[in-house]
Structures are given as C-alpha cells and as structure tokens.
Structure 1
Amino acid sequence: MKEKAHIVVIGTGGTIAGRGASSVNTSAYACSVLSIDEVLSGIPEVAAVSRVSAEQLMQIGSENFTTEHLLQLGKRIDTLLRRDDVDGIVVTHGTDTIDETAYFLHLTLKSPKPVVVVGSMRPPSSLSADGPLNLYNAILVASSPASHAKGTLVVSNDEIHSARDVVKTSTFKLESFRSPYGPLGYIVEGNPRYYRVPARRHTTETQWSVDEIYQLPEVGIVYAHAGIDAAVIEATAQSGIRGLIYAATGNGNVAGHVVGALLRARRRGVQIVRASRTGSGIVTRNGAQPDDEYDWLVVDDQVPQKARLLLMLSLSDGQHSTELQDVFYRY
C-alpha cells in the first residue's frame, strides 16, 4: 500500500479559526480564536487521506498581515519544503488578503511541492460553515501528485485556483473567490481534477527566493476616482515609497489634472505603474498614456494589490524601467 503523503498544516488565524456568538452569526464573529489543532479536530476525515502535522505560526486576521509576516511565513514554509519527509504544505489564512499572501509564496518558493492556502467565509461555529470542507479539500489537493509544479494554490468552494489569478470578490458569499480565466480545477467527491495549468512563471522558474529576502521596499497604491485630488498622489509619493501603483479608471486612464503629480513623483525616483480599478482586463502600454515618454509602467492584466507585490520584489533587485516592464509581462 502506498504511504500517505505527509502534509504540514500551518495556522495563521482568520475566519477559519473564528467563532460567532451563535450558529446564525455568519458575518459578525470573533476572528482568529481557535488554534489550528482545534480547527483540525473538527475534520477527523483527513486522517484517511494524509498524515497531517500542524503548527501555529501566528494568530491574526489577515488584514493585519505585513511584509514582515509574509517573510516569516515564506521562510518557514521554505524550511519545511526542504525536508524529505514533507510532501506538501497547507496554510490556513484569513480571506481578506489571502490572494496577496498566496501570490507572494507563488513568486518566492523554490519548490515543486504543493503549497495550498485556504480560508473560509464563515466561522466554524456557524450553520453551513465552509471552513471544514475547504480545509479537507486543501489537504486533498496538497496530497495529490497532480498538484506538483503548479505553484501556490488557493482552494475554496470546491475550486482550485492559481495564486496568480485569484481574488476575493465578495464580503460574505461562499463563492467569493474568482479567477478571471477560471479555476485550474475542481475537487469532485474527494478527487482533485485539473483542467488547465498556470502559463506565467512561478516558484522554481522565478528570479526570487524567499530565503534570500530579508527586507522589501515599500510600494503604495492610490485608487483613482472622479475628481481625485492630486495632493493625494503627492502625499503618497513623498511618504518614502519606491513605487506607486495607480489604480486608474478603465484601461489605466489618468485624469489630466493628476498627470503632473505622477510625473513629479517619477522624477523623484518613484516608479509609476498604471493599473485598473476594474478588477480584470489588460492595461495597454502607450494606450491611454504615453508610457514610453513618461517612463511609466503598466501592469498587463494584474490587479493592483498583486502588482504591488510584484513591484516590491522587482525593486529589491534594483532593476531599471525596461526590465521592470518585462517582469509584468513574464509573471
């Protein structure tokens, strides 16, 4: 009989470790209350599919995640993945920034072993809680040989998503997690089934390794709206950041009265990246703005919060504008 995969489950808190005052509290509850051992105790079925060990790395809501937390988590996973007796990793995580953490791991972990990040939209104490099945499915996915070399994955609502693409799209719905190109696959009656693979570089093919990163430069995001005050851009650009993601309207459109503020920021050495607040689609270089003339960058199809992580990693390498633009087309 084939030996069961050894999966390490790392607890970081979040709704999946929360508790409400009653079983009908699905949106109002205390976050990050239960330990990872308590969470796992509610799904004894995992023993039939994997050898599971658990550790509590932190216990916070994911809205509190900082770059220091990302590095702490990434380095711990990196250490575990180097062990011959570890076949995969599952991280329980709050859903607020699960897409950012997963993408950071997707770009910086140099291992083909499966890493799955999982959360829940409802606490374990609620009726129809989604956390137990999500976690069970995440362990199934991490245990499956089919999950190797696909980068970091996010499992939710019976779907398997690439960390590059997935975003949270609702404050409360169970089907909150969506990818613009669809999930990579599904979990059907305990079987992970894949129908596509990530096309962009990740894990073993990236230029970054978390064990070599000790600090990341700060990058800010400014969200565009009708009548935005250029002073918001000026203040953000002068806050010590190295880059600024401008979450513009439409195809990265920039209102005429704020172009000057962005140009001044660029002259001070801040990298300017045009993104879109729409949530999907491609921002075309030299389309809405003369990016070559202004020495600005575009995100290609990446959402602002993930573009921020990609730029932070790129700036840590000290790359120039032409190299930085290529990064957004490769990852």
Structure 2
Amino acid sequence: MRTMNFKNFFSLLMFVLILSVHAQVKPTIYILATGGTIAGQGSTAVVSEYKAGAITVDQLLSAVPSIKDIANIKAEQVANIGSQNMNDEVWLKLSKRVNELLKQSDVDGVVITHGTDTQEETAYFLNLTVKSNKPVVLVGSMRPSTAISSDGPRNIYNAVACASSKKSIGKGVMVVMDDKIIGADDIAKTNTLAVGTFQDPNYGQLGIMYDGKPIFTRESLKRHTINSEFDISKITKLPRVEIILSYSNATSLFVDAAVKEGVKGIVTAGVGNGNITTEMQNALANAVKKGIAVVRSSRILMGPTAQWDEIDDDKYGFSASWYINPYKSRVLLMLALTKTNDYKEIQRMFTEY
C-alpha cells in the first residue's frame, strides 16, 4: 500500500476544509406554509379540478429537491387554507412568527407559501408589521401541484433563491412568481387565471429572477418593515374595517349597515378618482361624526385617489388613499386605527406608506 506523503495529505485536508466552509455559508431559510393553490391537489392533471391546501409543506418541498443546494431549509405549517379564507388571526400569527424567526442570528430569510387570492393583502400586512430588513418572500402558484403545467416548483425555487441573496436585504416584503420580483407596496392581482397575474401597476416590479439570482431594477421609497411605526407584538385583535364599492346609483345602504354593525373604519372603492354618489358621501360624512374613519380609494387599477380634487376631504373628515388600492387600504387603515382615529394622522400614513 502506498503511503500518502505530507504534501498530498495537506492538499486533501485543505480541500475538505474548503468544502466544509462552503457547506457552512449556505443561508438558512425558513419556509412557512399557509396553504393555497400551490399546496393544491387534484385527482387528475386538469388545472381546475383540485382542492387548495390539500398537501403539507414537506410534500410541497419534495417536488423541489434542488432548493437544498442553495439554502439550509427548515419548514413549518402555519395554516393550510385556501387564501380566500385568510383572516386577521392568521395574519397576526404569521407576522409574529416571522418576527421571532428573523430575530435569530442563524436565520437569514423567510419564504411564505400562500394562495394567490389574498396574497397582495398578506404581503402588504407583513410589509407594515415585520421588524427586520432580512428578506421575506411570499410565493404561490396559479396551478395546483398535480396539474400538468404546475408553476409551483419553479416559483418556490426562485423564492428561496431570492430570500437567500444578500441583494434582497432591505427591499421590504416581496412576492416572487413567474420570474418576477413584485413589491408589496404596489402589488395587484390582475388576471383571474394567468400565471403572470401579479403586477406592480403603478410603480413597476422590483426586478426579475434570472438564472437563480435576483436582479433588482427599483427600490420602494415607501416606509416599510424596520421603518414602519406599526407594532403588532401585543395586539390580539385588529379593528374591524369594511370595504364598500361605489357604482352608478349606489345608495347609503351598505354604509348604514356598516355603521349599525359597529365597524371602526370604512374604505370606499370609488369610481374614477375615488368618487362616490352624493347619497353615499353624505352617509359617510355622518359616519365620520360617529367616530368611524373613512378612507377613499378607487376601484380603478392604476392611478392615484388624490386629495383636493372633486371631493373636499378636509371638509368631510375623509382621508385619500393615493396609490393604495382598496384591499391594501383596508390593511393600512386597520393598523392605523390601532394608533389613532385622527383623519389627518391617517392621511399622513396613507401618504408615507
């Protein structure tokens, strides 16, 4: 048997040490699963025939074994629901868990699997309540895991790759789908079925995923994460806020019902630049006098709901949402109401966030 000389032994030792160092520097990414189409399962390969949230996170990740090459993966099942059933309780639980994890020095980022129906709302809620600049990435799919054209595995791989990158630090909460990096500040679901449904219609996407790496082309100038004033660490219940749609011949019916139900805030999805019928406007003005916060938004996908336009917001005590759509406006108003009921302060928040 040939004896290994010192030089060969030293070379082998250095090679082992280099491999060990490379193994240690892989980031640790937690995957928190909440269900949705990405965890959907059907009895056939037909896209429309499936049940959302039917498989566990471990089953979901087994379809993407290559993510272990880019990160040390740990996984937890936070919920397993279709995101049409997403609720405040899960939001609070999810945000608190994300904050707990990101405080740990050995955790580099979090990926959250989520249904697409309310993904933009969850992303925005986390954008305002996560207290870390470490990457937080939401990911979903438009097609279930059993579909012949499932987009879930690629989206998960890209989400983990994005959360693993140091370039993603400080970017706020992101959604990664269809090779796009979408900011929570402007995200909107724009198509009921297409895999490219998520867009940033007003500001443009943050960037793209290319060859397993994030390429960023913009950053959010809005307050988020570590610069947010909202703290839900001790909150167990959020104020009730409802959205009321405006349309031709809209009456005060739903405003009156909301007031009677004791809501704390109302967001209007107005026509055009957040406009509402005179009858609805008068009902909302009366709601403000009863201590209910009112924010005007618009049902239109793009463009601002501006102050000082056709409606004198100061006269009625309303706040204008600017570029925040009705669904995310509800999220921001709920958090605002944990701090204040002053419409001027609420207006400041809608301008800054």
TM range (shorter): over 0.9
Q: Distance in 1 between matches of 2:270 and 2:156?
A: 36
* Pairwise CA distance, 1:318: 2.2
Match of 2:289 among 267, 277, 282: 267
Q: Distance in 2 between matches of 1:182 and 1:134?
A: 19
1:1-331 superposed matches below 5 A = 1-2=21-22, 3-23=25-45, 25-180=46-201, 181-331=203-353
For the 8 Å contact 2:291–2:341, the answer to whether it is kept is: no
Give 3-state SS (helix, strand or coil) of 1:164's partner. Answer: coil
Aligned length: 330
* Pairwise CA distance, 1:19: 1.0
Aligned partner letter, 2:49: A
For the 8 Å contact 2:340–2:346, the answer to whether it is kept is: no
Aligned partner letter, 1:184: L
* Pairwise CA distance, 1:237: 2.3
Deviation by residue 1:90-119 (Cα, 9 ceiling, x = unmatched): 000111111111111100111011000110
Q: TM-score, normalised by structure 2?
A: 0.91
For the 8 Å contact 2:285–2:316, the answer to whether it is kept is: yes
Q: Distance in 2 between matches of 1:324 and 1:318?
A: 7
Q: Distance in 1 between matches of 2:82 and 2:291?
A: 34
* Pairwise CA distance, 1:71: 0.2
Q: Distance in 2 between matches of 1:117 and 1:186?
A: 15
Q: Distance in 2 between matches of 1:10 and 1:82?
A: 16
4+ runs deviating over 3 angstroms: none
Aligned partner letter, 2:194: K
What CA RMSD, in Å, does the superposition of the two structures yield over aligned residues?
1.1
Aligned partner letter, 1:33: A
Q: Distance in 2 between matches of 1:324 and 1:166?
A: 21
Q: Distance in 1 between matches of 2:177 and 2:228?
A: 26
Q: Distance in 1 between matches of 2:134 and 2:339?
A: 26
Moved more, 317-326 or 208-217: 208-217
For the 8 Å contact 1:252–1:288, the answer to whether it is kept is: no
Q: Distance in 2 between matches of 1:261 and 1:27?
A: 42
For the 8 Å contact 1:100–1:306, the answer to whether it is kept is: yes
Deviation by residue 1:271-320 (Cα, 9 ceiling, x = unmatched): 11111000221111121211111111100110001001111111101241
Moved more, 43-52 or 232-241: 232-241
For the 8 Å contact 1:27–1:172, the answer to whether it is kept is: no
Give 3-state SS (helix, strand or coil) of 1:58's partner. Answer: strand
Stretches of structure 2 lacking an aligned partner (at least 5 in a row)? 1-20
Which is greater in Rg? 2
Q: Distance in 2 between matches of 1:286 and 1:242?
A: 24
Q: Distance in 1 between matches of 2:279 and 2:133?
A: 47
